[in-house]
Chain A
Amino acid sequence: MARSATAKAFALNGLLLHVLLIAGAFCMLYPLLWMIGSSFKPDNEIFSQLNPIPHSLYLANYVRGWVLGTGTSFTTFYLNSAIVCGGAIIGNLLSCSLAAYAFARIKFRFKKLWFAVMLGTLMLPFHVTVVPQYIIFNFLGWTNTFLPLIVPKFFAVDAFFIFLMVQFIRGIPLELEQAAMVDGCNRFQIFSRIILPLLTPALITTTIFTFIWTYNDFFSQLLYLSTENRYTVALGLRQFLDASGQSAWGPMFAMTTLSLVPVFLVFLFFQRRLVEGIATTGLKG
């Protein structure tokens, strides 16, 4: 009897916990739900209703919002974001995996020192280097191109990923490489034929986080991209806000909602990897 009483208490506790968690989740998601709902409402309904669910699906917001008053459309912004993200991902995958392999497996002089320096750069605020970097890119005539946003990634400036991959490579059994070395493979062959394929999970994590960071980035894009035909999604939204946002909330919310879709999809498909990446290295999602 006492047993069933405790079981009941547990069930009640569990129920209470669920109620609490659902209420909390609703509060957390309410702003997002309200925004998504508003993107399907005519302007006059948006601020008069707290209920996020629209009466009917008013799709005109999405059509009106897609093209800016100046004629540039979000097609351009999404393409530009895709170029910048794609370049950054390729750069990070190549450069970080090379550096990580050296740190994880090869013995060379001053390795400990370089490794410490690499970890130190994790804490270097972007804002310390931004002025000289801007001067370099300005001197090269690269302002208002995507190069300042992509080229540094080919030189492993995102040390987080080096660290992530070093940890991963250390977990790969050494015997595979030793066998390959006996067969006469050199370090580059070992890297490309053995390490890279086995590194795939870490490469996927790197791809996901590079995509999210680059897509959500605003500061450096604001700095380097100055004409509308080069704008990314983040800059396009801000342009929209400045140009017509105050008078066109429906289209504004339609475009902000849409802009969150790519990151959200990545989250849906790669949730497990994302969670692992955060839990093991503290990468900011």
Chain B
Amino acid sequence: MSQTSSPVRPRPRRPLSENTYGYLFLAPWLIGLVVFMAGPTLVSLYLSFTNFNLLQPPKWVGAGNYTTLFLHDPRYRQALRVTFTYVAVAAPLNLVFALLLAMLLNTRIRGVGIYRAVYYVPSLLGGSVAIAILWQQIFGLGGIFGQIVGFFGVHDSSWVSNPKQALWTLIILHVWQFGSPMIIFLAGLKQIPGELYEAAAIDGASKLRQFWVITVPMLTPVIFFNLVLQIINSFQAFTPAFIVSGGKGGPLDATLFYTLYLYIQGFANFRMGYASAMGWLLLIIIAVLTGIAFLSSRYWVHYEDGGR
């Protein structure tokens, strides 16, 4: 082809192949994948087998960090206990409230839009430092929570500085933010054909029975989706615990969230190998839990199209 074109006229540019275009468009993402995601994930796996403080080169210690974490670090075990309690209590409660409100709002009442907006607002603002500060005050000594329960004869005390109750303030904070799963549930509820309920009503099924035999099964894909999101998000909660405990996870490590302990080890004590090991264990925990959710979904998640 190049032989036939005259030397004076510029050779018409051959259009790039689809393959080239594909990779050109994908280039920024591919670079990002290598530099900021896949690369660091592998590097942190390497670092997890070393001692590294950012100043001296990493020193290989084999599985040392992992054995310390599992056998000789009671604070790590505490962080696991706190985080698992938090996820196990806050995530399901959050979803229960979300579903309940979505059901109430899925009726033909006036002002649904306003209610939906109002219930969603905490979800929008809840992750911020401002709300964490507010929470610290509400549940602090003399805070409004203490005053309200005081009416009911409960002795006023500071929940945030009591090791038995501090975690509960954070669980309440998480449950308070049920707005976004509520919106996802609402979208799911709208997909359920009304004929199903009509048929069930003709057959004499009560509202409660309709809920269990129609709503719940039809909604299982959405419940599953919300559950996975909740697991991933709540395991990584950081801001509220950091602010409420002044960055220390106190009182008596009662709010020592996993990510907070990782931050303390990696960026306050500069034990970056240790923090990397914690990061990888977090990845494994989340992968295993979502894996279990996916595997179990075969038995309880109902897809209208039979799963494909």
Interface residues, chain A, CB within 8 Å of chain B?
14, 17-18, 20-21, 24-25, 28-29, 31-32, 34-35, 47, 50, 94-96, 98-99, 101-103, 106-109, 111, 114, 117-118, 121, 123-136, 138, 152, 154-157, 162, 186-187, 191, 212, 215-216, 218-219, 222-223, 234-235, 237-238, 241-242, 245, 249, 252-253, 256-257, 259-260, 263-264, 267, 271, 274-275, 278-280, 282-285
Cβ 8 A contact of A155, one of B28, B117, B134? B28
* Alpha-carbon gap, A28 to B179, bound state (A): 11
**B6-65 CB contacts (< 8 Å) to partner A:** 15-16, 18-19, 21-33, 35-37, 39-41, 43-44, 47, 54
B25 touches A259 (CB 8 A): no
Across the interface, name the chain B residue whose C-beta is closest to A17: B109
Interface string of B99-123 (1 = CB under 8 A from A): 0010011010111000111111111
Chain B residues packing against A (C-beta within 8 Å):
15-16, 18-19, 21-33, 35-37, 39-41, 43-44, 47, 54, 101, 104-105, 107, 109-111, 115-125, 127-131, 133-135, 137-138, 142-144, 147-148, 176, 179-180, 183-184, 186-187, 225-226, 229, 232-233, 235-236, 238-239, 242-243, 246, 259, 262-263, 266-267, 272, 275-276, 278-280, 282-283, 286-287, 290
Residue in B closest to A221 when the chains form the complex, CB atoms: B129
Nearest B residue to A159, CB-CB: B29
Given contacts A99-B26, A129-B40, contact A28 B31 (CB under 8 A): no
**Chain B CB within 10 Å — which of A50, A253, A279, A280 has the most?**
A279
Contact, CB under 8 Å: A121 / B33: yes
Closest CB in chain A relative to B49 CB, distance in Å: 13
**Which residue of B121, B133, B135, B137 contacts A237 across the interface (Cβ within 8 Å)?**
B133
Q: Which residues of B contact A47 (CB under 8 A)?
A: 142-144
Contact indicator A249/B130 (Cβ below 8 Å): no
Contact call B120/A99, Cβ cutoff below 8 A: no
* Cα-based distance from A133 to B37 in the complex (angstroms): 9
Which of B15, B32, B121, B259 is close to A152, meaning CB atoms less than 8 Å apart? B32
Which chain B residue lies CB-closest to A257? Answer: B130
Given A136-B35, A275-B120, 14 more A-B residue pairs with CB atoms under 8 Å apart are: A24-B101, A34-B144, A95-B29, A98-B27, A124-B37, A127-B259, A132-B43, A155-B28, A256-B130, A263-B128, A274-B124, A275-B183, A279-B187, A284-B180
Q: Is the CB of B133 within 8 A of A191?
A: no
Majority SS of interface residues in chain B?
Answer: helix
**Hey, which chain A residues are within 8 Å of B238, CB to CB?**
218-219
Q: B107 to chain A: which residues have CB within 8 Å?
A: 17
- Is A127 a contact of B262 with CB atoms below 8 Å? yes
- Collect the chain B residues with CB atoms within 8 Å of residue A32's CB: 121-122, 125, 134
Q: Is the CB of A128 within 8 A of B32?
A: no
Flag if A132 contacts B44 (CB, 8 Å): yes
Contact partner of B122 (CB less than 8 A), chosen from A28, A152, A259, is A28
Contacts of A162 in B (CB 8 A): 29
**How many angstroms between the C-alpha atoms of A94 and B238 in the bound complex?**
29
